[in-house]
Amino acid sequence: MPSKRFGAINRAMDEDRIETAIERIEAARLRLVAAAEKLASREADDGADSDLAERHAAMKRAVADNLTRLDDLIGRLEA
């Protein structure tokens, strides 16, 4: 049977990984916001901008999905 100390160390490692994941997701979100602001400030005068806007929207959806998954995972860990 694992000791209480091992369990505490394991929980601390899990918490560190969760915090690191949250920091990485927040950094990605900030990059997306910056890219969206840059895109919005430019004139959409050619097809490349349209493609970029579509890619940005897809990335934004993927980040939102991953945030939902992370929230669910954190909820399960807290239970």
Written as one string, the DSSP assignment of 16-61 is HHHHHHHHHHHHHHHHHHHHHHHHHHS---SHHHHHHHHHHHHHHH
pLDDT in tens, 18-76: 888 888 888 888 888 888 777 777 655 555 667 777 888 888 888 888 888 888 888 88
Residue 67: the pLDDT is: 86
Q: How confident is residue 9, by pLDDT bands cut at 50, 70 and 90?
A: low
Cα separation of 27 and 39, whole Å? 18
Q: Sign of torsion, CA 4 8 9 13?
A: positive
**First-last CA distance in the chain:** 22
